Structure 1
């Protein structure tokens, strides 16, 4: 994943000079030669923007995720999201390896959100290591179970604080 500074198609660019057919074909050919597949995206279609005025505005999808067939087999529910940009002219990319599956599984269950405050607890790193090592299964399943266990750990930690 990252900034490839190339587009795969004319519709991935709006405004500015047109990319040459040769340039687009060379990028496509490189991905084909490496047996890499574009992962697609959700949310906004462009990842890079320049120019504040409509007449000079250029938008392009320069950043992307690509993967091999083996990776796609390991993470069939992946989802790439183009996030909003604030400090850069590039959008950050978010790769969720359980994205499409999570939408189905999470119905009726709270979606995992990492709490930065957990890092302030001196036992947090050890808790994560111990819980991770006690889990079995695929990485996505272990991550899901770890998230559930971290919520339980946080709840019990908060109860202890209230009783002390």
Structure 2
């Protein structure tokens, strides 16, 4: 986290000369290469200002907090606030982690890109075709729980690292 002295889109700057698109593209490409995600923010849109008046004023979002997937899995409740400070031309970045999440089961998330691999549908069909005894509400729930478990195993075994798959496509 901190002052990157770079913007990731034209909307992150007001005033002054336009930032050349190649600088923006290079910054965005670097974040992608490092597999880092911007954590967003609450508060003022711009994190730096030259504090001039009128048309001479320039404001940019050059301070940010980024993290990789592994960090976000440890701290899924993270939030970032932009806090104005009278003594600086930058806002303060306040990061709220809400404590480390225990290593218990993580919520199931279906990733759309799994559908690009034909074996994903085979896993789903196999789970829903499995014969289960029980009440009308127990049967689909049981199949859904089995599908979640099977897809997690399939993802690790066949699909592998999500970021490396994205780079291949």
- Structure 2 distance, partners of 1:3, 1:51, is 17
| Counterpart residue number, 2:95 | 95
What is the 5 A alignment of 1:48-67? 48-67=48-67
Tell me the SS of whatever aligns to 2:23.
helix
Number of equivalent positions: 102
Q: CA deviation at 1:67?
A: 0.1
| Counterpart residue number, 2:100 | 139
| Counterpart residue number, 2:11 | 11
Tell me the SS of whatever aligns to 1:42.
coil
The answer to whether the 8 Å contact 2:75/2:100 transfers is no
- Structure 2 distance, partners of 1:2, 1:140, is 24
- Structure 2 distance, partners of 1:53, 1:82, is 22
What per-residue deviation string (whole Å, max 9, x for no partner) do you get for residues 41-97 of structure 1?
001111000133121111000000000001111111110000012111111100001
Tell me the SS of whatever aligns to 1:55.
helix
- Structure 1 distance, partners of 2:37, 2:29, is 11
What is the RMSD computed on CA atoms of the aligned residues? 1.4
Runs of 4+, deviation exceeding 6 Å: none
Q: Does 1:82 align with 2:43?
A: no
The answer to whether the 8 Å contact 1:97/1:140 transfers is no
What is the 5 A alignment of 1:105-120? none
- Structure 2 distance, partners of 1:15, 1:81, is 23
| Counterpart residue number, 1:116 | none
What is the 5 A alignment of 1:14-25? 14-25=14-25
TM-score by length of 1: 0.59
Flag structure 2 segments of 5+ consecutive residues without an equivalent: 103-169
Distance 1:92 1:49, change over 3 A: same
